[in-house]
Structure 1
Amino acid sequence: MIVRDKADGDFGGLVFGRDRRGRFRWISATPGWHHSIHRCRVDLRREMERQAHLPDEEYFQADERGAPVDFFTPVVQVHSLNPAFVSLSDALGYSSARGIIEPMMRWYEDADGNFIEQFQTTGFDARIWELYLFAAFTELSYEIGRIHAVPDFCCASPFGEFNVEAVTANPTRDKQGNVVPEPPLETAEQQIAHLKDYMPIKFAGPLTGKLKKKYWEKEHVADRPLLFAIQDFSSPASMTRTSSALQRYLYGYDYEWAHDANGKLVVTPQPLEWHVWGEKKVESGFFRLPDAEQVSAVLFSNSGTISKFARMGALAGFGSDLVQIVRMGMWMNPDSNAAEPLLLSQNIRDPRYRESWAEGISIFHNPRALKPLDPRLLPGVAHHWLEEDGTLRSQIPSNFPLGSFTQLLVPEGTETSVLGAEPLQSA
């Protein structure tokens, strides 16, 4: 790794090696600082070559405890493995995702004791979501405490602390455990009803379930903001519309929009009381529920899927160069009067392409929170607040993705192309 001193512009190099648990950690540095990055690269390569000739034991540090964490060696019978896990483990198209997860997993502390088994079987999506959050919070320079089984993440930095409990909306299953198909979405009326009632009810179940756990009563949670981080894995198609459904349920408002005579976009809030689907009836406004004031905010990401790992892995140099990765989707339109997003297509292999782990995260702040979350603790993400008149105020980064699809393309004859869908921010 090459670092630069902001004060004088000099460059220095850091060398990392695997410790006893397979984790990359600092082991050496270039002899000095350089005005030229080229000279720094030369010195760094020399130091890396010198370190490479040393025995592995030279990289070990005295604080390792336990065996290396390994997500990919099966711990269950082959017939029990999740097909998505098998694809991640074996498919050429997912080689970049696999490549970046392997070093990352060495740092993941399994507080529950069942992470690996669930990652390989029925909990694959939920565990990918947790691993994504781990990467995002680490990128934001948080120390993540995993000594407590709940909540999932105790994040601390010199600027503040907060706790996060991860949860997912999952497919509906019948009494035999079979997935129940989503209702039809063939007409505009069906699509609107799906957004306004079906999906809010899907979100209500896991969120109210977490609310009943009363995490705020635990000593290590009581004095810090508590976030619920939810991702929708209820069906592949639902990813295209769930953020707006989540927003409706959290705040208990729908929104109508129109352009006035001057072409200005006017948004009018409409209060909601209930979400009804068949025999199910759920009160709208999660943040208005009893005890919900203990929840500071709800975090949602439109990128917390395996496709994110494929892209980030490729950007970090992992995976096969045979795989071409193309990202297509909708991005926030900077025009304040725009009613439609920007449509873009990007090649991940383009040297100009940039992406962060936290990109695509939205924070919905609770207007009744007893311990409000300081938005400065989570920079570079979208923040949303409900105003007293029911309107929504948002702070959204530039180039914010509303949702995307990632195509993993491999040469003919080596493997079938894989299409990985990511959730959209709004319908």
Structure 2
Amino acid sequence: MKPLTLLRFDALASYARAPRARLIGDEVAWYEHSDERVLGMIVRDKADGDFGGMVFGRDRRGRFRWISATPGWHHSIHRCRVDLRREMERQAHLPDEEYFQADERGAPVDFFTPVVQVHSLNPAFVSLSDALGYSSARGIIEPMMRWYEDADGNFIEQFQTTGFDARIWELYLFAAFTELSYEIGRIHAVPDFCCASPFGEFNVEAVTANPTRDKQGNVVPEPPLETAEQQIAHLKDYMPIKFAGPLTGKLKKKYWEKEHVADRPLLFAIQDFSSPASMTRTSSALQRYLYGYDYEWAHDANGKLVVTPQPLEWHVWGEKKVESGFFRLPDAEQVSAVLFSNSGTISKFARMGALAGFGSDLVQIVRMGMWMNPDTNAAEPLLLSQNIRDPRYRESWAEGISIFHNPRALKPLDPRLLPGVAHHSLEEDGTLRSQIPSNFPLGSFTQLLVPEGTETSVLGAEPLQSA
């Protein structure tokens, strides 16, 4: 029996954890036996402080689930550890069939065995499947995929072909909501996630902003961003229009009319895949579009940062003209909030996988970018570079998530349901109030560095949708 980190245990088995279990016991130690054939956990009962052990094995679909427990509870964690080791040893020598639970349906979910012809595979999927640089991402997705219910029936095909980015975004949300202790229901095709915990419930529909294509299906290049004026116009008009299309399209679906959605807060979770790494710089554009406000800032005579809201009416780019203020649109009061992350990409999986011990140690992972400046009067972010292999480095799935609350929502989302993320809300005078966690990333790039000769190219020199 060997100890596991919580990150490693969660990567393998957190999807089996019932949210209500945290109400009755605290997890204090995690273990594996026989090269992770079985996993173990010690729990401390909240009521009397006694310690008990649980053992997990893979069911018929390859998912770690509870299979046995220690004979009793102990006042001493040492005695509990002895009992747990004996039980894990006993279970490790049993055949696989002893771990099956009689309620499994269907074959194990497998994202990586191609279901289409090789020429149809997305190059990003091929890199994830085969490249050494992405071995940590592949490693952490494999146990996750065993738990992912394909309510649409086409997830794997799209993951391997034209919908790779959108499906990675959904997997990221699945991991983040699981980390936040939600039980995720996917028996309904829409919306994508029905999240429930002892403290509340909400529904989430995932959506992406995608590249513009011409009539022949070719990607239209993004406007140039060489000058300051071009960059400002991109954030003030081009990107708000890009966000408007998918968000208003989802609004027309009227998910709130469905019985399983009607009484719960509804969130739209959007990620920007409109161009490589675009999500690292477009959060402010989404904020402008959602609330219909721009913000001017200056320092007063005392050096205090003063921000002044400026109402917006329209976003105009060429022949396109879109009304600003998504939350002001008819029916938008049915949407409780919009979730955005600058991190829901394959690079997130590479980093989290490495932290959990997956992938090749030959790969060096360096994260560079901008983080929120804790100085309330600062107008510029912090610029940082971090090596993921540094033992001091920390990251969670939910890190980087921003929730933009709808001031007109008929079913407001309680911010306490999503702790550890950034929450933004609009005051009546147009002032934006934000509660932002410490060490919050505003946008980052991830370099995956592999030894020369081990890849056909150096991954990360131009990061693939890296954030």
TM-score scaled by structure 1?
0.94
Q: Please, which runs of 5 or more residues in structure 1 have no aligned partner?
A: none
Out of 336-345 and 83-92, give the one that drifted further.
336-345
Q: SS state of the match for residue 89, structure 1?
A: helix
Residues 342, 39 of structure 1: alpha-carbon distance in 2 compared, 3 angstrom cutoff = farther
Out of 361-370 and 239-248, give the one that drifted further.
239-248
Match of 1:418 in 2: 458
Residues 373, 92 of structure 1: alpha-carbon distance in 2 compared, 3 angstrom cutoff = same
1:288 to 328, 352, 355: 328
Q: Is the 8 A contact 1:302 1:423 kept in 2?
A: no
1:347 offset after TM fit, Å?
A: 2.0
1:51 offset after TM fit, Å?
A: 2.1
Residues 133, 420 of structure 1: alpha-carbon distance in 2 compared, 3 angstrom cutoff = farther
1:14 offset after TM fit, Å?
A: 3.3
Q: Is the 8 A contact 1:241 1:423 kept in 2?
A: no
Residues 328, 35 of structure 1: alpha-carbon distance in 2 compared, 3 angstrom cutoff = farther
Q: SS state of the match for residue 162, structure 2?
A: coil
1:30 offset after TM fit, Å?
A: 4.6
- Write the distance in 2 (CA, Å) between the matches of 1:402 and 1:44: 43
Q: Is the 8 A contact 2:446 2:463 kept in 1?
A: no
- Write the distance in 2 (CA, Å) between the matches of 1:292 and 1:421: 41
Q: SS state of the match for residue 420, structure 1?
A: coil
1:419 offset after TM fit, Å?
A: 4.8
Q: SS state of the match for residue 168, structure 2?
A: helix
1:397 offset after TM fit, Å?
A: 1.0
- Write the distance in 1 (CA, Å) between the matches of 2:228 and 2:189: 44
1:421 offset after TM fit, Å?
A: 9.7
Q: Is the 8 A contact 1:251 1:286 kept in 2?
A: yes
1:142 offset after TM fit, Å?
A: 1.1
Residues 118, 30 of structure 1: alpha-carbon distance in 2 compared, 3 angstrom cutoff = same
Match of 1:4 in 2: 44
Residues 88, 36 of structure 1: alpha-carbon distance in 2 compared, 3 angstrom cutoff = farther
> Residues 93-124 of structure 1: CA distance to partner in whole angstroms, max 9, x if unpaired?
11111111111011111010000000000000
1:29 offset after TM fit, Å?
A: 3.7
Q: Please, which runs of 5 or more residues in structure 2 have no aligned partner?
A: 1-40
- Write the distance in 2 (CA, Å) between the matches of 1:285 and 1:238: 21
Residues 237, 167 of structure 1: alpha-carbon distance in 2 compared, 3 angstrom cutoff = same
Out of 147-156 and 235-244, give the one that drifted further.
235-244
> Residues 167-194 of structure 1: CA distance to partner in whole angstroms, max 9, x if unpaired?
0000000111110100111111111101
1:240 offset after TM fit, Å?
A: 3.0
Q: Is the 8 A contact 2:166 2:208 kept in 1?
A: yes
1:352 offset after TM fit, Å?
A: 2.3
Two-structure CA RMSD over aligned residues (Å): 2.5
Residues 78, 192 of structure 1: alpha-carbon distance in 2 compared, 3 angstrom cutoff = same
Task: Count residues in correspondence.
Answer: 427
> Residues 372-409 of structure 1: CA distance to partner in whole angstroms, max 9, x if unpaired?
11111111110000011111001111111112111212
Q: Is the 8 A contact 1:30 1:44 kept in 2?
A: yes
- Write the distance in 2 (CA, Å) between the matches of 1:263 and 1:30: 62
Residues 354, 212 of structure 1: alpha-carbon distance in 2 compared, 3 angstrom cutoff = same
1:326 to 356, 361, 366: 366
- Write the distance in 2 (CA, Å) between the matches of 1:211 and 1:57: 47
Residues 312, 122 of structure 1: alpha-carbon distance in 2 compared, 3 angstrom cutoff = same
1:46 offset after TM fit, Å?
A: 4.8
Q: Is the 8 A contact 1:409 1:417 kept in 2?
A: no
- Write the distance in 2 (CA, Å) between the matches of 1:231 and 1:422: 20
Identity fraction in percent:
99
- Write the distance in 2 (CA, Å) between the matches of 1:35 and 1:419: 51
> Residues 68-100 of structure 1: CA distance to partner in whole angstroms, max 9, x if unpaired?
111111000000000000000001111111111
Residues 409, 39 of structure 1: alpha-carbon distance in 2 compared, 3 angstrom cutoff = farther
- Write the distance in 1 (CA, Å) between the matches of 2:80 and 2:449: 36
- Write the distance in 1 (CA, Å) between the matches of 2:118 and 2:416: 46
Q: SS state of the match for residue 424, structure 1?
A: coil
TM-score scaled by structure 2?
0.86
Q: Is the 8 A contact 2:191 2:204 kept in 1?
A: yes
Q: Is the 8 A contact 2:277 2:466 kept in 1?
A: no
Out of 347-356 and 223-232, give the one that drifted further.
347-356
2:290 to 250, 258, 262: 250
